[in-house]
A and B are shown apart, each in its own frame.
Chain A
Amino acid sequence: MLLRIDRLTKEYQRGVRANDEICLEVSAGQVVGLFGHNGAGKTTLLHQVIGLVRPTSGSIHIGGRDAVADPVLARRVCSLQPQSQAPLEGVTPRQAIEIMARIRGADRRRASRHATQMLDALDLGEWADTVGQKLSGGVRRLTAFCMAAAEPGDIVMLDEPTNDVDPVRRRLLWQQIRSLADDGRAVLLVTHNVVEAERSVERLVVLHHGRVVAEGTPAQLRGGHGDRLRLEFTAADLDAAALAAEFTGGEVAARTGRRVVIPIAATEATRAIAWAQHQRDQGRLDEFSITPTSLEDIYIGLVDAGTEGSRATRVA
């Protein structure tokens, strides 16, 4: 196990528990996704691993060695893409990536080769030689990813790497994240993008108020929700409320303006389609869809349940 975090707790002076008895493991070749609301303690966790924040209690081991006692080791072994933008004023993406690769130990030729490879892989060639202050937020974010990943440590930690990035390049970015793991790195990434992450991560960890409220593979987290579907439709405001009340085959409907989502059992699918089709023919409903319950729904459900004070549901 490359990264082993055991009962890690960080309590700040004001008594705020940013991390509360967190246990987490990431092995070489794995991508682990860390989810949670803003302020759930995700960044604090990464900062403890890299030695910017000292844990109140608990342990962090990197390759079996105590990383709390040896922050220099942590910085050498871990590459971090921080949540804040990388310092690119006056520097082009190519220069920044090359110099970070060299600082991480690559020689000049290797750094140059890797920088070019990464810039090509993320389709950033157009901006490779443009200075930082002229770059968009997305390009800066991707550059920061490359700075962490061009000559990566054994552990790569990415704090919201997909923010501001356009959909096409987000796909390219996920491929690169995946290939880091395929090359034997342990990847720990923080993201809010549950839907996209689901396709690339081995395991998911959901944090809420500093606690792990769920952990497992995407399939494990789905668990009992595997046979659940959701009926989603849009209608005029008044009709939406009436329709939500009229459909009887599902659970409690959630309505947001014109949009209604009703969880249904898979066995109800045929009837739900017929009902929705009928309503559309009547002109009461604009469009509808039936989809499997998404991991995002489950995540929101977990976090909402956590808000009510329930203890961790561990799915593993």
Chain B
Amino acid sequence: MRHALRSYRLLVRWNLLRMRTTLPLLIVYQTILGAGIVVGLALLVPDPDPTTARYLTTGALTLGLVTIGMVAAPQMVAQQKLSGIFDYQRTMPVPRLALLAADATVWIALALPGLAATLGMASLRFDLQFTISPLAVPATLLVAACCVAVGYSIAYATPPEVAAVLTQLILFGALMFAPINYPAERLPDWLATAHNWLPFTYMAQVIRETVDVPATGIAVLPFAVVALWAVIGLAITYRVMTRRA
């Protein structure tokens, strides 16, 4: 355990050093994106009622996490595969989970300023009052971990070219065709059914209900589904990482 923790600490340091030049850019991008989604959606829906405004705001938070975990992170892994870093890291005498945890830590930390920007911009733009639950922090971490785990599993299990296309599709799908910014009822039946099995609905719900607790309370099922997806993503990633050709 001590070895794992020590490895984790050093690997986080190693990641931060390596991403030193791209990190500030990504944070700026993420912050602009977080605030921009709120502003952009407000243009689409000029005078939203409180429910719509709540969806748009919390949806923007979820989309921020999807962008980092399921798009930026896997794209960077794909790049690492091409440049040989991937194989290099696999030869290092560190527990595989420490390697994954160190990567996830950096990505999640990277997403946080964007989330703050989104919330700030939303309360300015829509004049919303949130009843934030203490569960909001663990909920955000859980959704972020799920995004990174699923994103990594895609990047690890598919060739870099496929990963690049898949991540773009995910971003497009999450933005337009997932019940993140609007209720699932608006989707065609077949797509709504598909979303019963995909993580997006549940991630959005977890964020929505913890950032602004509904009168009916916070549902437990979405937490379980998001956790399950995180475990599936992690299991695939771990499997590919430890697989010997």
Contact present for A84 and B87 (CB under 8 Å): yes
Q: Known: A82-B84, A82-B88, A89-B18. Contact between A153 and B244, CB under 8 A?
A: no
Q: 1/0 per residue B81-108: CB within 8 Å of A?
A: 0011101111111100000000000000
For the complex of A and B, 6 pairs with smallest distance between CB atoms: A84-B84, A54-B244, A87-B85, A76-B93, A90-B20, A75-B93
Tell me if B's interface is mostly helix, strand, loop or mixed. helix
Among A50, A71, A87, A99, the one with the most B-chain Cβ atoms within 10 Å of its Cβ is: A87
B232 within 8 A of A: no
Alpha-carbon gap, A103 to B15, bound state (A): 13
CB within 8 Å of B: which of A69-91? Answer: 71, 75-76, 80, 82, 84-87, 89-91
A104 within 8 A of B: yes
Within 8 Å by CB of A84, from B7, B19, B88, B245, lies B88
Cβ distance B14 to chain A, nearest Cβ, rounded Å? 5
B44 within 8 A of A: no
Q: Known: A52-B245, A99-B10. Contact between A90 and B17, CB under 8 A?
A: yes
A54, closest chain B residue (CB)? B244
Contact present for B87 and A53 (CB under 8 Å): no
Cβ distance A53 to chain B, nearest Cβ, rounded Å? 5
Contact present for B245 and A90 (CB under 8 Å): no
**Residues on the A chain within 8 Å of B18, using CB:** 87, 89-91
Alpha-carbon gap, A82 to B92, bound state (A): 11
Contact present for A80 and B17 (CB under 8 Å): no
27 contacts between A and B (CB under 8 A): A51-B244, A52-B87, A52-B91, A53-B244, A54-B244, A54-B245, A71-B242, A75-B91, A75-B93, A82-B88, A84-B84, A84-B87, A84-B88, A85-B84, A87-B18, A87-B80, A87-B83, A87-B85, A87-B89, A89-B18, A90-B22, A91-B14, A91-B17, A99-B10, A99-B17, A100-B92, A103-B10
**Residues on the B chain within 8 Å of A71, using CB:** 242, 244
Alpha-carbon gap, A90 to B16, bound state (A): 9
Interface residues in chain B, defined as those with a beta carbon under 8 Å from any beta carbon in chain A? 7, 10-11, 13-14, 17-22, 80, 83-85, 87-94, 242, 244-245
B85, closest chain A residue (CB)? A87
What number of A-B contacts does a CB cutoff of 8 Å give?
Answer: 65
Contact present for B88 and A87 (CB under 8 Å): yes
A85, closest chain B residue (CB)? B84
B22, closest chain A residue (CB)? A90
Cβ distance A118 to chain B, nearest Cβ, rounded Å? 18
A95 within 8 A of B: yes
Q: Known: A51-B244, A53-B244, A99-B10. Contact between A90 and B19, CB under 8 A?
A: yes
A102 within 8 A of B: yes
- With an 8 Å Cβ cutoff, the count of chain A residues facing the other chain is 25
**Residues on the A chain within 8 Å of B85, using CB:** 87
Alpha-carbon gap, A102 to B8, bound state (A): 12
B244, closest chain A residue (CB)? A54
CB within 8 Å of B: which of A141-160? Answer: 153
Cβ distance A17 to chain B, nearest Cβ, rounded Å? 15
Alpha-carbon gap, A166 to B18, bound state (A): 27
**Residues on the B chain within 8 Å of A84, using CB:** 83-84, 87-88
Contact present for A82 and B91 (CB under 8 Å): yes
Contact present for A82 and B87 (CB under 8 Å): yes
Alpha-carbon gap, A76 to B93, bound state (A): 5
Alpha-carbon gap, A99 to B12, bound state (A): 11
B91, closest chain A residue (CB)? A80
Contact present for B93 and A99 (CB under 8 Å): no
**Residues on the B chain within 8 Å of A102, using CB:** 10
Contact present for A90 and B21 (CB under 8 Å): yes
